């Protein structure tokens, strides 16, 4: 799906990232899809474009492979940077650590939208209080 | 005359690092809280990766809302200095306007056109 706000103003942030140890593809722990490392729109893909599941490999620096946990990381929520870029917040199922990763151009739009809609579809939401504003 | 009484302990408070509000350390339902109910900002005192107390002590801004399987809302904070992420349950007296603003912000800036999902 085409991106509505293409990053034209600013190139992607440089990071001290160590890539290239794991070959050019990884298998998703959630759905078993073979995912190529190279993705449209990002140079730091770490999650499956289909089910958005990731693996807990890195500790502080992306690509350092120092976590030792190897737990499954599920998408917990979605946040927006000031420049309009969406980030997925992943939550490790075995140790509980949180991490953020920018979405890729081929990420499942329906899965992203379901995560973003989760707070708004809550029945306990004080919608009436908001409508009075 | 002193207002403190030996039989009534003074509730623990902390000043909000952003708006300066004096916040009690426990919410109205008795659960401990770590963020200001007015601006939802927090302070980086616990280290999630290393465990134990953190030496950062910088401001943590709320960046998003997460809904657990139980239906509980969590507010996700990011440290302004070291980028650490934490999640904490919301309190009943938290600012509903800021919570709602964080919840709708992704949908206000979608990376793909939302018209395709109108039929769903």
Could you tell me if B73 and B99 are in contact, meaning their C-beta atoms sit under 8 angstroms apart?
A: yes
pLDDT at B1: 46
ipTM at complex level: 0.81
CA A8 from chain center: how many Å? 21
pLDDT by residue, tens only, chain B of 120 residues: 445 556 666 778 889 999 999 998 888 888 888 899 999 999 988 876 666 788 888 999 999 999 998 888 899 999 998 888 999 999 888 888 898 889 989 999 888 888 878 766
Task: Choose among A84, A89, A124: nearest Cβ to B64.
Answer: A89
Q: Is residue B5 part of a domain?
A: no
Q: Is residue B117 part of a domain?
A: no
Dihedral (Cα; B63, A86, B85, A34), 10-degree rounding = 160
In a domain, B4, yes or no: no
- Nearest residue in chain B measured CA to CA from A128: B96
Residue of A nearest to B87 (CA): A98
**Cβ distance of A124 and B71 shorter than 8 Å:** yes
Cα dihedral A55, A57, A61, A62, rounded to 10, equals: -50
CB contact under 8 A, B116 and A3: no
Q: What is the pLDDT of residue B45?
A: 87
Is residue B118 included in any domain, yes or no?
A: no
Helices B96-108 and A109-117: angle between axes, nearest 10 degrees: 170
Interatomic CA distance for residues B51 and B55, integer angstroms: 11
Read off the pLDDT of residues A53-105 as tens digits, 9 standing for 90 and up.
999 988 877 778 888 889 999 999 999 998 889 999 999 999 888 999 999 99
Scan residues 43-102 of B and list those with Cβ closer than 8 Å to A.
48-49, 63-67, 71, 73, 76, 78, 85-87, 96-97, 100, 102
How many domains in chain B?
Answer: 1
> Residues B82-101: pLDDT tens digits?
888 999 999 888 888 898 88
- Determine, yes or no, domain membership for B30: yes
Burial of B58 (0-12, 13-18, 19+ CB in 10 A): middle
Q: What is the structure's pLDDT at B5?
A: 59
Is B44 contained in some domain?
yes
User: What domain range includes position B92?
Assistant: 13-106
């Amino acid at each position: 799906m085409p991106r509505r706000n293409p990053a034209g103003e600013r190139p992607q942030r440089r990071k001290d990232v160590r890539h290239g140890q794991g070959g050019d593809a990884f298998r998703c722990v959630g759905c078993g899809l073979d995912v190529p490392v190279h993705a449209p729109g990002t140079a730091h893909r770490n999650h499956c474009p289909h089910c958005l599941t990731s693996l807990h490999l890195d500790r502080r620096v992306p690509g350092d492979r120092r976590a030792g946990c190897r737990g499954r990381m599920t998408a917990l929520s979605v946040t927006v940077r000031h420049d309009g870029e969406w980030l997925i917040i992943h939550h490790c199922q075995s140790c509980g650590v949180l991490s953020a990763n920018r979405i890729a151009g081929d990420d499942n739009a329906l899965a992203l939208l379901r995560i973003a809609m989760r707070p708004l579809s809550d029945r306990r939401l004080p919608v009436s209080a908001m409508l009075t504003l | 005359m002193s207002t403190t009484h030996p039989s009534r302990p003074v509730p623990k408070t902390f000043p909000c690092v952003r708006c300066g509000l004096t916040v009690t350390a426990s919410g109205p339902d008795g659960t401990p809280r770590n963020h200001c109910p007015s601006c939802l900002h927090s302070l980086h005192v616990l280290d999630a990766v290393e465990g134990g107390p953190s030496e950062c002590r910088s401001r943590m801004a709320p960046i998003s809302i997460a809904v657990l399987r139980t239906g509980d809302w969590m507010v996700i904070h990011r440290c302004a200095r070291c980028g650490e992420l934490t999640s904490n349950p919301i309190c009943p007296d938290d600012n509903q306007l800021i919570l709602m603003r964080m919840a709708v912000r992704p949908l206000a800036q979608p990376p793909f056109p939302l018209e395709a999902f109108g039929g769903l």
